[in-house]
Amino acid sequence: MSRCQAVARPLARQLRPQCAIRPFTTGAARAAAAATEEVKQPSALDLDPNSVLPEFESDLIKAGKMPIGSRRRRVAMRTTASLPFEQLPYQAFQEARAILAADRQEKVAKIQEELEKIALLEKKDAALVKGGQAMKDTKLASLRRYVEQLKIQADINDPLVKKRFEDGLGDMDKPIYRHYAERKWRSYDYRLITQRIKQFNIVPDVLPKLDPVADVQLYFRQSKIPPGEIVDSLISENPPRLRVQVFNKGPRLVSLVVLDSDVPDVEKDAFSKRCHFLAANISLSPNDTSLPLSKIRADDQLAVPWLPPTAQKGSPYHRVGIYLLEQKPETKLDVAKLKELYASRDGFSLKSFRDKFSLTPVGFNMFRSVWDENTAGVMERHSVAGADVEFRPTRVHSLKPPVKPRGWEAKRQGPAYRHLWKYTKRIKGLSNARGWTKRR
Amino acid sequence: MASSTSITGLFSRLSLLSRNTTSTATATAAMTSTSTSRLFSTTSSSLARKAPPPAGGSAPKAVRRNRQAPKSENFFRIRTLRRNMFSPAPPPLRMARLRYLRHWTIHRAWQLFRRKQHEAIDKERSRMHAGMYNACEELRKTVGPGSRGEGYLYRVAMEKKGVYGLDGVPIEYARFQTDSPAKEAWNHEWKR
Contact (CB, 8 A) for B144 and A134: no
Structure confidence at residue B48 as a pLDDT band (50, 70, 90): low
Domain ranges of chain B: 1-38, 116-160
pLDDT at position A30 is 54
Give the model confidence (pLDDT) of B109-128 as tens digits. Answer: 999 999 999 999 999 999 99
Write down the mean pLDDT value for chain B. Answer: 75
Domain boundaries, chain A: 44-82, 91-157, 201-382, 401-439
Nearest to A97 among B98, B105, B110 (CB): B105
Taking only the tens place, the pLDDT of each residue in B131-156 is 999 999 999 999 989 999 999 999 99
The ipTM (two decimal places) reads: 0.74
- pLDDT at B23 (0 to 100): 43
pLDDT of B54: 53
pLDDT digits over A377-415, tens only? 999 999 999 999 999 988 888 999 988 888 888 889 889
Task: Give the pLDDT confidence score for residue A32 in this predicted structure.
Answer: 53
Average pLDDT over residues B31-38: 43
> Sheet harboring A241-245: ordered strands across?
A223-225, A215-220, A241-245, A290-292
Phi and psi torsions of B164, nearest 5°: -100, 35
Q: B11 or A107: whose pLDDT is higher? A: A107
- Chain-chain contact of A99 with B109 (C-beta, under 8 angstroms): yes
Question: Whole-prediction pTM value?
Answer: 0.68
Selected residue with higher pLDDT from B80 and B130: B130
Measured between alpha carbons, how far is A16 from A147 in angstroms, rounded to an integer? 58
Q: Which residue has the higher pLDDT, B161 or A341?
A: A341
Put simply, whether B115 touches A (Cβ < 8 Å) is no
Low-confidence ranges of chain A (pLDDT < 70): 1-39, 440
Q: What is the pLDDT of residue B36?
A: 44
Q: Are A370 and A232 in contact (CB under 8 A)?
A: no
Contact A100 B106 (CB under 8 A): no
Query: In chain B, whose CA is at the least distance from the CA of A84?
Result: B98
The shortest C-alpha distance from A316 to chain B (Å) reads: 47
Chain B residues touching A162 at Cβ < 8 A: 101, 104
A246, A284 in Cβ contact below 8 A?
yes
Distance between CA atoms of residues B97 and A160, nearest Å:
12
Write down the pLDDT at residue B30.
41
Q: Choose among A83, A235, A80, A100: nearest CA to A159.
A: A100
Which pLDDT does position B52 carry in this prediction? 55
Residue type, B115: R
Residue-wise burial string across A186-224, b where 16 or more C-beta atoms lie within 10 A, e elsewhere: eeebbeebbebbeebebeeebbeebebbbbbbbebeeee
Contact list in B for residue A97 (CB cut-off 8 A) is 105, 109
Check: CATH 1.10.12.10 for A201-382?
no
Share of chain A above pLDDT 70, in %: 91
Chain A contact set for B108 (CB, 8 A): 96, 100, 157
Question: Is B105 buried (19+), middle (13-18) or exposed (0-12) by CB count in 10 A?
Answer: buried
Residue B34 has pLDDT above 50, yes or no: no
